[in-house]
Structure 1
Amino acid sequence: MRIVVLGASGTLGTLLVSRLRADGHEVVEASRSTGVDAYTGTGLREAFAGADAVIDSLSKVTLSAATAIEFFTTTAGNICSEARRAGVGHLVCVSIAGAADGEVNRRYGYYRGKAAQEHAYRTSGLPVTLIHSTQWFELVPLMLQMTTLGPVAVLPTMRMAPVAAESVAQLVAQEAIRTSREAERGGREPAVRTVAIRGPETATAAEVARRMIDVLGSAGGKAPQRILEVPLFGRAMAGGGLIPDAAVVDGVTLEEWMDRQRSAPSDQGGPVEAREAVPSLDPSAEGLHTEEVLEAYDYVIVGAGMAAAKAVEGIRAEDGTGSIGVFGADPAAPVYRPDLSKTLWVDPEATLQGSLMVSGPPVLEGAPDENTRFHLGTTVAALTPDEHSITLAGGRSVRYGRLLLATGAEPRTAGLEPGERVIYYRTVADYRRLRELATPGAHVVVVGGGYIGSEMAAVLTQNSVRVTLVVTGEPLLTQMFPAALARTVTQEFRDRGVEIVEGRLAGGTERADGVDVRLEDGTRIAADAAVVGVGVEPRTELAQAAGLAVEDGVLVDEHLRTGAHSVYAAGDVARYPDRLLGIRRVEHAAAAETMGKIAGRNMAGAGRPYRTTPFFWSDLFDYGYEAVGELDTRHTMVEDWAVGEDGEPDHSTGVVYYLNHLGAVRGVLLWNVWDSVKLAREVIGRTAEEPVTEPESLKGSIPLG
């Protein structure tokens, strides 16, 4: 039998490999050291080829929920995808008792991550066995390594029935072999089976640690004089919420386990797989250097999106060694945000990993250097410019030399509260959740017919999802496009199967299996999920509380400096002087990238003015466009369309110029006309200095092909 063991270089993985091979099975060792990376998906396809079963024994050391959730959901998703492609007969996942219990995982990030992993496997549709083990004996030395400071260690109040890793390995191997043989014989196993294992005795983590130190002299190389217990993680864990009622009972006691450790050549100090560096979006990945928040940084960036990622690049272009601390409330690392509503839905080869703007391991392009630390899932509660300090949500103060506000924008809510099936589409987490819900044949209501709403309606439809698009009026995008083009686009949506409903969102309710959306005229729409895109607001609360000038964004000068000494702003939150169009705030990717880069360079002393007028773009089925400036149909519009064989305007290709009352072009729409953004900027600049008196003379300024 051919069995793939993921995490083969770790404690459990090593035991599994040895046991399976001793029983005569062909084992594929899959770990980063063998060129297989479950997080990026690298090597999974080759490893799974011809496999009868796959065992997921991956682990991740963290107390951060964001870290754990990102790692385990990503790896599980990649494993399921490749297992399905390879026709693997069975998956076995080593999970942990109590992980899915909200009372247990509420305060313990690692358990929340394991719960997310279980959910990914349970909903995959593949035959899966979940092994719920209580904590291993081997975990306690690792916990001591992480929490010992001088003579004192602090462990959570955690009542458990620890088991030996050898026993877990034996059970996992048996399950993989048994279920694979059942599949070969044509037996029908349930899609998901759960088997729990617990030790023969119960104790708290602190009690186990004390006994280990008494007998072995140290645990994980640590021998603290005092072990304190802190009830950080709630009553359920302290009261034994980690101990399953119905379980296979391991026969190995702590004393027996310690006898084996005495005869071992050295104290290994904990599971090896937990120490293995794994490329990851999560904040503890090697290369993101988030294991510690420093007392001070030369540069602090508040916000961890696109502008922040480019600001790091800008700083490094001027200062190669200064310390940088990036603090982001979002637990996901920066991604190229347009991919969330474009490429990831229509390109089968696209992955979230490929959309990363900051990668984990130092060997990968885009990895931050050793003096750059990303603190993701970390909220900045206050900014005090006079003291050059920020205050984190937990009360800790961090000093800075110069600071960038890249806090971005947040979605406007509109009568329907965000939830598991109500998504105000903005983040990586939103993308992941919508991917789970938007399966072929599912029904999704998209509320809002603007930029993001129209994009999401189009890509969901292209993924065989039934879409109802709620708009305030028809035709679509009349605030941006000339009437004839808007009618053409609206008809394209209908021809593709999108149901368009006029109305305004009044409210609704979320059910366990769907949503009910209610409009102001009383119309009710039942669906599997709702995506709401009705605009965003800049996140200015931090700046406003710090006394910075705020007016639909944080006001900055041409160097992207605020009125406070050494504080800059960039991206969605910044209201800046555009050299062509005057004071404005832009919510598009190109603005975040270009402003972030210049802000970073200026923080490091470059003194460069920001001279870019950003462009934006979208794809709507087979139509695509790029645009610069103000696409506002309240302006005078000059339409320059290709001509069809019938002599009528052909709305498949054209340029639209938007002029103000003075004859200055304020915006240009390039409809299926490419590589002409520079020409569009030139037209805007030229007409600002020399307004046109005959608008029709603009036709031909930008070639159509």
Structure 2
Amino acid sequence: MRTMKVTVLGATGTIGTLITARLREFGHEVIAASRTTGVDALTGRGLDEALAGADALVDALNIETMSTAKALEFFTTTAGNVSAAARRAGVGRLVCVSIAGAADPDVNKGYGYYRGKAVQEHAYRSSGLPVTVIHSTQWFELVPTILRRTTLGPVAVLPTMRMAPVAAASVARLVADEVARKPDGRTGHEVREVAIRGPEVATAAEVARRMLVVRGSLGGRDPKRILEAPLFGRAIASGGLIPEEGLVDEVTLEQWLAGTRPHAVRDAYDYVIVGAGMAAAKAIDGIRAEDQSGSIGVFGEDPSAPVYRPDLSKTLWKEDANLEESLMLSAAPGAAKAPGGNTELHLGTTVTSLTPDDRSLTLGGGQRVRYGKLLLATGAAPRLTGLEPGPRVLYYRTVDDYRRLREIARAGAHVAVVGGGYIGTEIAAVLTQNGVRVTFVVTSVPLLAHLFPESLAHTVTREFSDRGVELVVGRLAGGSARRKGVTVRLEDGTGIAADAAVVGVGVSPRTELARAAGLAVDDGILVDDHLRTNAHSIYAAGDVARYPDRLLGVRRVEHAAAAETMGTVAGRNMAGAHRPYRTSPFFWSDLFDFGYEAVGEVDTRHRTVEDWAVGEDGQPDHSTGVVYYVNQIGAVRGVLLWNVWESVKPARKLIERTGLEPVRDLDSLRGAIPFG
């Protein structure tokens, strides 16, 4: 990339600071222009000096006021002054950081700030200069500005307008790319429009909630009460007061942060679910299949609503993926996926203790809640290492982990993935497919040798290497994180510097609450075939439950299908059904062009029988096949379906049949499940 001299207007603002730093990382000479450096685009003072000899100009100017009159005056004047000065200086490209919808009359007529940005864009398009206008789907400084101006004493008033928030760092990277772009030369001057959007759509209030969780304040203040105003945008545009009909009932800060508006925690519920993941979401469905009116209270520590967890490392990394579509429930009242009547989600809420004898639990704030039936769906927690979790060190279990990694892992970024198991291989593959440079730290090669027979493990390992994944054999010893990166340190002293690290070295069932309450615990909460614990009226489901599998014996399964099926059955039984849990869950994964489904004990400590398609050269073709895992007496304990689909049921039947009639001739298993 050629080095250039670039002037950044508004260089001391949030985005201007990041743009300046990003350009300097690429070796460009940057003139940081702002009022503090003596450059005032509103009066024109210092513009000619700041642009002298500049190859490119970036306009990252912003104002805190958003009234129509102020916005129009500011952007009309600054764009005119900047265009004239840029022409005089012979600037080769002008990059304007704008906002999506600015030029849409249906949008800007109602929002004064948008009208001002529309005037700015028009001035630059008409300037005769090569111009790039960058449309962020939602101007990232809009929410902080609103918060600064609307947090008054103990009360904050927040808009409920929908947006797709884009982090400033993402816009900065895009600006740096556009600065170095050469005009196409075909039209005298080139006008480009580039759109960038965030990974999801949310309301401004939801974005503000996340900011408050991270920063501890709104706009530098710490409110005690929250008012949400659907019509706040109209008030901003007119500069007047918020209309009466635009106000929503006031709630406390704690309730708002927990996502419980408009529901306060009740003293008692017919059904209580501790944990707000996949099992919890399906348990609600199970309860409602038997009881349409009973009260349900769901308490989850994670502030995010239940999400279909496999999407975090699969679907959500595809183009145009939308996080809302992966939510199993929404915490937003009135949303399409909001729970039905008499069901309340209390997110960001901790349960500190259970008292089975009087059917009650205690919340983090000290409130006592009684229940009729209780489900423990507390899931599993990642095993932590010497590398502490943080903004750039992710153990990748939550929606917030996904959001952070999605922001960091842009094309060209470098991510260290530690742990060669199920989640590590998925993340390493999906990041690579998204243009991210991946250093994959594993304890041994070939990859997944504990799951796959040697021939397949070598095939998968070659695929990772051929795709550009750097494989490093070693064990994690620790490391350190910085504001802009992380260093992973291995036991042999090797240090790996990257933009972020994803650590997946296993999980442990979250049994602390159950153990303290006197429930039977042994690598999970022990339940019977109806998913009941040894305590009256308490059930368990999902990653945390150790249950009697009708085909394979007592086991605990950490996969989505287990959470879904167990959650449903537990919910129905809590509401009066008497259904035994008879499912042997399966799991699946996608690794580049390979995909597989698996049932049972897929473990190479068993004997394996491989059945592969045959290639044109007469050799086994590892793109399609079935692997059978057989114990010492000849019972099939697991089946791997490698690019073979719709065969989970036959695999279960084979496990059941051979459990009763063991196989004597292992070769006879080949062909037992057709390839399709």
Give the corresponding residue for 2:546.
Answer: 575
Matched position secondary structure for 1:481: coil
Q: Confirm or deny: 8 A CA contact 2:100 2:136 kept in the other structure.
A: no
Which residue in 2 is equivalent to 1:676? Answer: 647
The reply to whether residue 291 of structure 1 matches residue 263 of structure 2 is yes
How far off its partner does 1:639 sit?
A: 0.3
- Shift of the 108–643 alpha-carbon distance from structure 1 to 2, 3 Å rule, reads farther
- The equivalent residue for 2:420 is 449
- TM superposition shift of 1:185: 13
Cα offset, 1:464, TM superposition: 0.5
Letter of the aligned partner of 2:404 in structure 1? R
Deviation at 1:54, TM superposition (A): 6.6
In structure 2, the residue matched to 1:320 is 292
Cα deviation, residue 124, structure 1 = 2.9
**2:119 matched residue in structure 1:** none
Q: Are the structure 2 counterparts of residues 578 and 448 from structure 1 closer, same or farther at C-alpha, using a change threshold of 3 Å?
A: same
Kindly provide the CA deviation profile for residues 492-524 of structure 1, in whole angstroms up to 9, marking residues without a partner as x.
000000000000001111122211111111111
- Aligned letter for 1:478? A
Distance of aligned partners of 1:642 and 1:89 in 2 relative to their CA distance in 1, 3 Å threshold: closer
For residues 630 and 667 of structure 2, the distance between their equivalents in structure 1, rounded to whole angstroms, comes to 11
Whole-angstrom CA distance in 2 between matches of 1:496 and 1:573: 36
91 and 396 in structure 1: CA distance in 2 versus 1, 3 angstrom threshold = closer
Contact map agreement 1:310 1:597 (CA 8 A) in 2: yes
Cα separation, 2, equivalents of 1:463 and 1:600: 39
1:53-95 per-residue CA deviation (whole Å, 9 max, x = no partner) reads: 979989xxxxxxxxxxxxxxxxxxxxxxxx9886889787253
- In structure 2, C-alpha distance between the alignment counterparts of 1:96 and 1:466, rounded to whole Å: 35
Match of 1:348 among 319, 342, 365: 319
Hey, what does 2:361 align to over in structure 1? 390
Task: Return the alpha-carbon distance in structure 2 between the equivalents of residues 330 and 399 of structure 1.
Answer: 22
Pairing partner for 1:403 from 374, 377, 391? 374
For 2:109 and 2:375, the matched residues in 1 are separated by 45
**CA 1:672–1:391 in structure 2 vs 1: closer, same or farther (change >3 Å)?**
same
1:663 to 634, 637, 651: 634
Change beyond 3 A, Cα 1:90–1:472: closer
Counterpart pick for 1:272 among 231, 234, 246: 246
Distance 1:328 1:572, change over 3 A: same
Tell me by how many angstroms 1:439 deviates.
Answer: 1.2
Q: Return the match for 1:558 from 529, 533, 536.
A: 529
SS of alignment partner, residue 701 of structure 1: coil
Report the 3-state secondary structure (helix = DSSP H, G, I; strand = E; otherwise coil) of the residue aligned with 1:125.
Answer: helix
Question: Alignment partner of 2:142: what SS?
Answer: strand
* 1:587 aligned to which of 558, 582, 604: 558
SS of 2:144's equivalent? strand
Pairwise CA distance, 1:437: 1.0
Q: 1:324–1:109: structure 2 CA closer, same or farther, 3 Å change rule?
A: farther
**How much has 1:652 moved relative to structure 2?**
0.2
Task: Tell me if the contact between 1:90 and 1:126 (Cα under 8 Å) persists in the aligned partners.
Answer: no
Of residues 375, 388, 410, the one that matches 1:417 is 388
Q: For 1:453-488, what per-residue CA distance to the aligned partner results, in whole angstroms no more than 9, with x for missing partners?
A: 000000000010000000000000000000000000
* Correspondence list, 1:500-519, <5 A: 500-519=471-490
The separation in 2 between residues aligned to 1:617 and 1:375, in whole angstroms, is: 31
Contact 2:414 2:498 in 1 (8 A): yes
Q: CA separation of 1:462/1:672 partners in 2, compared to 1, >3 Å: closer, same or farther?
A: same
Contact 1:55 1:93 in 2 (8 A): no
One-letter amino acid of the counterpart of residue 616, structure 1: F
Structure 2 distance, partners of 1:398, 1:589, is 29
Letter of the 1:341 counterpart: S
C-alpha displacement of 1:682: 0.5
- The residue correspondences of 1:212-251 to structure 2 (distance < 5 A) are 242=221
CA distance in 2 between counterparts of 1:572 and 1:508 reads 29
Distance 1:453 1:419 in 2: 18
The structure 1 residue matched to 2:444, chosen from 465, 468, 473, is 473
Residue 608 of structure 1 pairs with residue 655 of structure 2 = no
Q: 2:665 maps to which residue?
A: 694
Deviates more, 1:448-457 or 1:352-361: 352-361
CA distance in 1, matches of 2:393, 2:532: 37
Corresponding residue number in structure 2 for 1:145: none
How far does residue 348 in structure 1 lie from its aligned partner after superposition? 1.2
Matching residue within 628, 647, 650 for 2:621: 650
Match of 1:371 in 2: 342
Give 2:515's aligned residue.
544
Residue in 1 that maps onto 2:280: 308
* Alpha-carbon spacing, 1:688–1:647, altered in 2? closer, same or farther (3 Å): same
Matching of residue 458 in structure 1 with residue 505 in structure 2: no
User: One-letter code of the match for 2:426?
Assistant: E
Q: Deviations over 1:651-680 (max 9, x none)?
A: 000000000111100100000000000010
- Equivalent residue number for residue 95 of structure 1: 144
Q: Does the CA-based 8 Å contact 1:507-1:518 persist in structure 2? A: yes
- CA drift of 1:436 comes to 1.3
- Compute the RMSD of aligned alpha carbons: 4.2
Q: Does structure 2 conserve the Cα–Cα contact (< 8 Å) formed by 1:56 and 1:94? A: no
Q: For 1:366 and 1:94, locate their aligned partners in 2 and report how far apart those are by CA, in whole Å.
A: 25
Q: Aligned AA for 1:324? A: I
Q: Do the aligned residues in 2 keep the contact of 1:475 with 1:486 (CA within 8 Å)?
A: yes
Answer yes or no: is 1:534 the counterpart of 2:508.
no
SS in structure 2 at match of 1:301: strand
Is the Cα contact below 8 Å between 2:147 and 2:156 reproduced in 1? no
> CA distance change for structure 1 residues 688 and 391 in 2, over 3 Å: closer, same or farther?
same
Measure, in 1, the Cα distance between the counterparts of 2:435 and 2:110: 31
2:672 is aligned with what amino acid? S
After the TM superposition, which residues 166-181 of structure 1 pair with which residues of structure 2 at under 5 Å, given as runs? Answer: none
Unaligned runs of 5+ in 1: 1-14, 26-44, 59-82, 129-183, 192-231, 244-259
Cα distance change of structure 1 residues 621 and 385 upon mapping to structure 2, 3 Å threshold: same
For residues 228-267 of structure 1, give each alpha carbon's deviation from its aligned partner in whole angstroms, at most 9, with x where no partner exists.
xxxx99xx989x9659xxxxxxxxxxxxxxxx99xx9xx9
**CA distance in 2 between partners of 1:327 and 1:401 (Å):** 15
- The number of aligned residues is 512
**Pair 623,85 (structure 1): closer, same or farther in 2 beyond 3 Å:** farther
- Residue 349 of structure 1 aligns to which amino acid in structure 2? D
- Listed one character per residue, the Cα deviations across residues 138-166 of structure 1 (whole Å, up to 9, x for unaligned) are xxxxxxxxxxxxxxxxxxxxxxxxxxxxx
Deviation digits for residues 419-471 of structure 1 (CA, Å, limit 9, x no counterpart): 11111011000000111111111110000011000000000000100000000
Summarize the Cα distance change of 1:535–1:122 in structure 2 as closer, same or farther, 3 Å threshold: closer
TM-score normalised according to structure 2 size:
0.68
Distance 1:385 1:55 in 2: 59
- 1:77 is aligned to none
Structure 1 CA distance for aligned equivalents of residues 379 and 155 of structure 2: 28
Matched, 1:336 2:383: no
Q: Is the 8 A contact 1:289 1:374 kept in 2?
A: no
| 8 Å CA contact retained: 1:616, 1:627 | yes
Q: Is the 8 A contact 2:136 2:166 kept in 1?
A: no
Report deviation, 1:366. Answer: 3.5
Does the Cα contact within 8 Å between 2:138 and 2:166 map onto a contact in 1?
no
1:571-622: CA deviation from partner (whole Å, max 9, x where unpaired):
0000000000000000000000000000000000001000000000000000
3-state DSSP of counterpart to 2:609:
strand
1:513–1:56 distance in 2 versus 1, CA, 3 Å: farther
Deviating 4+ runs (over 2 angstroms): 15-23, 45-58, 83-92, 94-100, 107-111, 116-128, 240-243, 273-277, 282-285, 288-291, 359-367
In structure 1, what is the equivalent of residue 171 of structure 2? 124
- Is 1:617–2:588 an aligned residue pair? yes
Q: 1:598: which partner in 2?
A: 569
**For residues 643 and 18 of structure 1, do their structure 2 counterparts lie closer, same or farther at Cα, with a shift above 3 Å needed?**
same
TM-aligned CA distance change 1:57 to 1:87, over 3 Å: closer
